């Protein structure tokens, strides 16, 4: 396309953005209008993509980090012939694929759900990393960012990651339109403020007028030809560009243009330009190949092994069997034991340093390219990345998360290092799986099994050693449980997992010596929960005692209740959990102080079988 | 102190760090040894502090962002005479004030709990902001950071905030010891890599040898005399400095020095140097003064008002009455309505732009200085700051958080903007209060009441308008509830809050017309929960139906169960919550699709009174 044609295409994208938002009665046309020329030139001249084959391994990848500019994205899809005008006008309506913020669950051309700002670039970095280091393909990743979202620290985690990894297949396009939602941004139109920051993180930068299509064209060309560095194109634009009533004006964020018909006329009316988007050349295939034969590590009953050790060893074995498994860590691989994977599969191991948001984002990007990522850090520090996990679930992303050092039982390091909210946090994520093994063989089995589940999968591991209680042949289906003590005389059921499972067994033995028979259930699958076993236990023993090394809200105790929330009779219940703020102390002292050790369990059980209330 | 004395003091801090960790059998002496000279010079020459009066308003503030270097901090306390040698050797033991990572809950000289890396600087920025813009005092804030933690995006949110606000009362001391936990950092001893980044964010930088006490001394002097910019002192150091077996060696992070006695000898043995720390000069008093008379906004029953509007108006009124109330927002003040406060009290309003971690961190810093912060953003985006909220609870910080745009009822914007995990996330925080009002007068009452509670307080607000159902005189004690429909013939109890409370009332009316009497409880206090009312409802009506605009895990439904988890008989229960992934649709369509509208509630209630199971 020549200059005039590119200008016309930009105007068409503006017109269609205005029309879509007007029809919806909501949306972000002004945020779309600022970036319309940037999008027009990208689509017409630089983006290599086959809209008929979004899975094509050679396709470039486009990420709309400023997800609220979805009218622009959908207008571009229309210009590319991927959707028609009638569909464009379904924007934001019930059942439409064209949501307020784009998601890959609805549209095959969307790489990741956006709408929580500052996430598109980090995930784009993950895709670009996959391109360089895993796919070894020559696709490019293009990320369109707003200027407001550059205040998010996650942007600078991503900038650091991309600069350090020399991701010259990555281009970020900054739509510096000077206006955020509420008003002016910190740096307004000071392009150099942004350029300085990106250069400091070892990026190549180009500053342009984002409405000069020739300058935009040259900048994209410069980005493509820049080697050894990612490029940031920093474009001065005007929000609401092209319509006097909206151009560079405050107070119009997230609002349809008031007089849409007039605005469309001012923009030159509706056009029907159809862009031929260049298809990709490359057809390189994906994925290293594993040996196909999974040989998980095995431990004998009675051995003392930390579940984090079992995790690391199982992950390494899984990586040997499957070429599509990759691992990431937040600079604590010697603690989470993901280092075992790193040693055996260095090409598929990604050190993300202490940047948990970027670690999860990179995992999401890699999963989008068909890889099966396992991202590990302390359970406590996954809280840092909660928004990324939440958004990953909206994307339908299949990622595995491992949180080690769960609970007070880590001991002396104190509460800052104790994962005590992780079960609550991850259970609340839509479609998630939450697993909490108590021994090494169980851990290994679950590590392998989680690889092929849908959605977000979380495995909680422990710092200290615990006794191996299951043989290596035992199976642990997700959604199942293990009944470890059971008799016809059981007067209550203790439900536990992980560290507290061993305390529960000790309590059951002590109670048994006193003539009180109790059932013990190992609830290794916290979500989904084994409703049948819990219901049977309730019917047969009348009451349930749950014990967890976690806050009382949202964890194992609440998970057990999922089995009884449909109106059926509910058993008597007691929940033991961490109710105080721990300090430094030994693991055993911690469990005792929190009231979740064997002695505390036995004491509560005695009260329960006497039909008393537990204080 | 002269050069030799400073060197000796540095060695003493090393020796005491080695001794404390050796006695504990755990801890981070090598991370302490790298920063010992930096700490020695600060303590002896530049830090203005009265250890006998930690509340002194003129005290400088020191934040140990690399919280694992606690042995160094405690050794400094000993050198300053704040603790004795016997207490130093209680490090990491049960009951000791000297935890693995320092917390203000245990020690009066600690400004904030650290141990989750990348948080000390952001909170230090909050304290420095309070010094400049609220206290108008001339104390300085000194933050000691590790190099590893510079990978956290929160560091760059803080750098941006401090640079933009010209916080020349803030100095960050970077202990660039080149080694993280697992191994080398990204940039090793490349001081310029860090200096470049901080300069790009408008900081003054000084690069030094961190073991040259005279250079350190000069650098601190330069920081103090630098105007209009915060200063980053970037110090090249060696991890484990001073002991051949540990100096600059990998694999020794978080481990006591192996042969402690030999190491102590190599460091010149135990010393008894006592440092006279200069007390502060300033005695300026804190806090603007309000008019002391709280006049909350009032609405008449039947009016249609969004609870977010009521929040903004009530917050503005609270700010008029109380001079200690401040507000922060993540660049969505026009949506959360914190802009109402901003208009009336611009001096106490802090625009944090789209940086939720920094917003919460700044609030924590201000709360430490005695201010009462209200930090607002979309409920969905508070997930971004979960680790900061978690750590704030470890600090015992008293901050108010507001999450607006809760639930599917926001409508068209789609799931990325919907707070659906916020109740679970905030209930799991130790000692938190979680409030979810359904009308304007209730919101206003709770906004005022939460100001004086302990710990983390969370208020959830809604985007759309809802009917005012309470008069302006009604009181809403935290931990209470309101029974809105009740009769002796009630056959079940519907428990709801916020948006679903109105749906519950409509369902109750419909059921009433069919001759089915039901009780309705407004559970505005989600944590703590009104156990007595719920237990009475259970006894009198036999079953409970909970309804919430939130994921089914960890929210209102689970909160209700808190009343029954002590072994008492449990009523039949049904929980209605958001179980699917919403798309774009109108608010009414969303509530219906999620099965939490009046029709869905009534349908479930009918099944329940027939003693059926709800599918």
* A32/B contact by beta carbon, under 8 A: no
Could you give the percent of chain A with pLDDT greater than 90?
Answer: 97
- pLDDT for the residue B288: 64
Please give the structure tokens belonging to residue A560: 């057990």
- pLDDT for the residue A287: 63
- pLDDT for the residue A292: 85
* A568/B contact by beta carbon, under 8 A: yes
- Identify the closest residue of chain B to A146 by CA–CA distance: B354
Can you state the percent helix, strand and coil of chain A, rounding each to 5?
A: 40, 15, 45
Residue B543, pLDDT > 70, answer: yes
What's the rounded Cα separation, in Å, for the pair A222 and B267? 56
pLDDT band at B513 (very low <50, low <70, confident <90, very high): very high
Interface test with A, best of B566, B609, B614 (most A CBs within 10 A): B566
Residue B428, pLDDT > 80, answer: yes
- pLDDT for the residue B286: 58
- pLDDT for the residue B285: 57
Catalytic residue among A152, A356, A503, A548: A356
For residue A130, give how far its alpha carbon lies from the nearest alpha carbon of chain B (Å).
20
| Residue B169 DSSP one-character state | T
Interface of B with A in 243-272 (CB under 8 A): none
- pLDDT for the residue B70: 98
Which of A116, A157, A415 is closest, CB to CB, to B394? A415
End-to-end CA distance of chain B: 77
The long-range contacts involving B269-274, CB below 8 angstroms and separated by at least 24 positions, are B269/B15, B270/B12, B270/B15, B270/B16, B270/B19, B271/B8, B271/B11, B271/B12, B271/B15, B273/B5, B273/B8, B273/B9, B273/B12, B273/B79, B274/B79, B274/B80, B274/B81
Helix B499-513 to helix B598-609 angle, to the nearest 10 degrees? 50
What's the rounded Cα separation, in Å, for the pair B546 and B556? 7
- The whole-number average pLDDT for the span A359-378 is 98
Question: B276: exposed, middle or buried (C-beta count within 10 Å: 0-12, 13-18, 19+)?
Answer: exposed
Which of B180, B201, B559 is closest, CB to CB, to A331? B180
Does the beta-carbon distance from B416 to A358 stay under 8 Å?
no
What's the rounded Cα separation, in Å, for the pair B387 and B364? 13
- The whole-number average pLDDT for the span B175-201 is 97
Select from A372, A342, A341, A377 the least CA-distant residue to A358.
A377
Query: Residue B86: how many CB atoms within 10 A of its CB?
Result: 8
* B102/A contact by beta carbon, under 8 A: no
Residue A567, pLDDT > 90, answer: yes
What are A70-92's pLDDT values in tens digits? 999 999 999 999 999 999 999 99
What are A202-214's pLDDT values in tens digits? 999 999 999 999 9
What ipTM was assigned to the predicted interfaces of this complex? 0.97
What are B2-25's pLDDT values in tens digits? 999 999 999 999 999 999 999 999
Question: A292: exposed, middle or buried (C-beta count within 10 Å: 0-12, 13-18, 19+)?
Answer: exposed
Residue A300, pLDDT > 60, answer: yes
Residue A354, pLDDT > 90, answer: yes
* B343/A contact by beta carbon, under 8 A: no
- The whole-number average pLDDT for the span A459-467 is 98
Rounded to the nearest integer, the mean pLDDT of chain A is 97
Which of A95, A153, A425 is closest, CB to CB, to B154? A153
Task: Show the 3-state SS of A493-539.
Answer: EEEECCHHHHHHHHHHHHHHHCCCCCEEEECCEEECCCHHHHHHHHH
Residue B458, pLDDT > 70, answer: yes
Geometric angle at alpha carbon A116, from A113 and A118, rounded to 5°: 100
What are B104-153's pLDDT values in tens digits? 999 999 999 999 999 999 999 999 999 999 999 999 999 999 999 999 99
List the beta bridge partners of residue B546: B495, B575
Could you give the percent of chain B with pLDDT greater than 70?
Answer: 99
- The whole-number average pLDDT for the span A260-282 is 95
Query: B47, B142 in Cβ contact below 8 A?
Result: yes
Q: Which helix (H) or strand (E) holds B493?
A: strand B493-496
- pLDDT for the residue A614: 84
pLDDT band at B615 (very low <50, low <70, confident <90, very high): confident
* Chain A residues whose beta carbon lies within 8 Å of the beta carbon of residue B574: 565-567
- Identify the closest residue of chain A to B614 by CA–CA distance: A566
What's the rounded Cα separation, in Å, for the pair B311 and B443? 6
Interface of A with B in 506-525 (CB under 8 A): none
| Residue A478 DSSP one-character state | T
Which of A196, A412, A607 is closest, CB to CB, to B567? A607
Residue B292, pLDDT > 90, answer: no
Which of A387, A527, A554 is closest, CB to CB, to B381? A387
Interface test with A, best of B421, B548, B560, B568 (most A CBs within 10 A): B421
* B87/A contact by beta carbon, under 8 A: no
- pLDDT for the residue B612: 80
- The whole-number average pLDDT for the span A451-480 is 98
Interface of B with A in 456-495 (CB under 8 A): none
- The whole-number average pLDDT for the span B340-350 is 97
- The whole-number average pLDDT for the span A574-591 is 96
- pLDDT for the residue B373: 98
- The whole-number average pLDDT for the span B587-604 is 97
What are A422-443's pLDDT values in tens digits? 999 999 999 999 999 999 999 9
* Chain A residues whose beta carbon lies within 8 Å of the beta carbon of residue B256: none
- The whole-number average pLDDT for the span B517-536 is 98
Which of A105, A354, A428 is closest, CB to CB, to B553? A428
* B31/A contact by beta carbon, under 8 A: no
Residue B239, pLDDT > 80, answer: yes
Interface test with B, best of A558, A573, A609 (most B CBs within 10 A): A558
Residue B583 backbone dihedrals phi, psi, to 5 degrees: -115, -155
- pTM exceeding 0.90: yes
Interface test with B, best of A100, A394, A403, A571 (most B CBs within 10 A): A100
Task: Show the 3-state SS of B182-249.
Answer: CCECCCCCCHHHHHHHHHHCCCEEEEEECCCHHHHHHHHHHHHHCCCCCEEEEEECCCCCCCCCCCCC
- pLDDT for the residue B284: 62
Could you give the percent of chain B with pLDDT greater than 90?
Answer: 97
- The whole-number average pLDDT for the span B473-489 is 97
Rounded to the nearest integer, the mean pLDDT of chain B is 97
- pLDDT for the residue B328: 98
Does the beta-carbon distance from A613 to B566 stay under 8 Å?
yes
Residue A286, pLDDT > 70, answer: no
- Identify the closest residue of chain A to B163 by CA–CA distance: A186
């Amino acid at each position: 396309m020549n200059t005039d044609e590119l200008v016309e295409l930009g105007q068409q994208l503006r017109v269609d953005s205005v029309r879509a938002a007007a029809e919806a009665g909501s949306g972000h046309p002004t945020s779309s209008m600022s970036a319309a020329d940037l999008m027009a030139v990208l689509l017409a001249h630089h983006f290599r993509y086959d809209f008929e084959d979004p899975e094509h391994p050679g396709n470039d990848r486009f990420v709309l980090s400023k997800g609220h500019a979805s009218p622009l994205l959908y207008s571009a899809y229309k210009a590319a012939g991927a959707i028609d005008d009638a569909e464009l006008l379904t924007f934001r309506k019930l059942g439409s694929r064209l949501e307020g913020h784009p998601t890959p669950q609805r549209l095959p051309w969307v790489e990741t759900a956006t709408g929580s700002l500052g996430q598109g670039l980090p995930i784009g970095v993950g895709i670009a990393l996959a391109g360089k280091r895993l796919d070894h393909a020559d696709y490019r990743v293009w990320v369109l960012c707003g200027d407001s979202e550059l205040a998010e620290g996650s942007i600078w985690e991503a900038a650091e990651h991309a600069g350090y990894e020399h991701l010259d297949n990555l281009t970020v396009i900054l739509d510096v339109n000077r206006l955020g939602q509420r008003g002016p941004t910190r740096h307004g139109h000071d392009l150099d403020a942004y350029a300085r920051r990106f250069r400091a993180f070892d990026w190549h930068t180009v500053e342009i007028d984002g409405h000069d299509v020739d300058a935009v064209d040259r900048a994209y060309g410069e980005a493509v030809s820049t080697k050894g560095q990612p490029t940031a194109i920093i474009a001065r634009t005007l929000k609401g560009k092209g319509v006097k009533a909206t151009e560079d004006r405050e107070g119009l964020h997230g609002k349809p243009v008031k007089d849409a018909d007039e605005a469309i006329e001012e923009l030159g009316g509706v056009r029907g330009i159809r862009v031929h988007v260049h298809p990709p050349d490359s057809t390189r295939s994906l994925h290293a190949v594993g040996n196909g034969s999974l040989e998980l590590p095995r431990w004998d009953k009675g051995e003392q092994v930390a579940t984090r050790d079992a995790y690391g060893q199982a992950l390494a074995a899984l990586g040997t069997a499957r070429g599509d498994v990759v691992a990431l860590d937040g600079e604590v691989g010697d603690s989470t034991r993901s280092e075992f994977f790193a040693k055996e599969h260095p090409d598929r191991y990604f050190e993300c340093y202490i940047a948990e948001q970027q670690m999860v984002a990179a995992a999401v990007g890699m999963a989008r390219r068909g890889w099966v990522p396992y991202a590990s850090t302390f359970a406590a520090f996954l809280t840092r990345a909660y928004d990324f996990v939440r958004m990953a679930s909206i994307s339908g992303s299949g990622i595995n998360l491992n949180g080690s050092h769960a609970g007070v039982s880590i001991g002396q390091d104190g509460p800052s290092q104790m994962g005590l909210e992780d079960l609550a946090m991850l259970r609340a994520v839509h479609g998630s799986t939450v697993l909490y093994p108590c021994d090494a063989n169980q851990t290994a089995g679950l590590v392998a099994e989680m690889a092929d589940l849908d959605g977000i999968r979380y495995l909680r591991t422990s710092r200290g050693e615990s006794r191996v209680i299951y043989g290596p042949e035992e199976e642990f289906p997700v959604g199942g449980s293990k009944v470890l003590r059971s008799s016809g005389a059981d007067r209550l059921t203790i439900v536990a997992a992980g560290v507290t499972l061993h305390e529960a067994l000790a309590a059951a033995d002590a109670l048994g010596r006193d003539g009180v028979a109790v059932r013990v259930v190992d609830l290794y699958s916290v979500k989904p929960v084994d409703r049948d076993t819990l219901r049977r236990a309730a019917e047969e023993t009348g009451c349930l005692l749950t014990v967890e090394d976690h806050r009382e809200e949202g964890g194992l105790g609440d998970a057990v209740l999922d089995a009884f929330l449909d109106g059926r009779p509910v058993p008597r219940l007691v929940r033991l959990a961490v109710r105080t703020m721990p300090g430094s102390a030994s693991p055993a002292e911690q469990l005792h102080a929190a009231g979740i050790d064997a002695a505390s369990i036995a004491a509560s059980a005695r009260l329960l079988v006497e039909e008393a209330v537990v204080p």
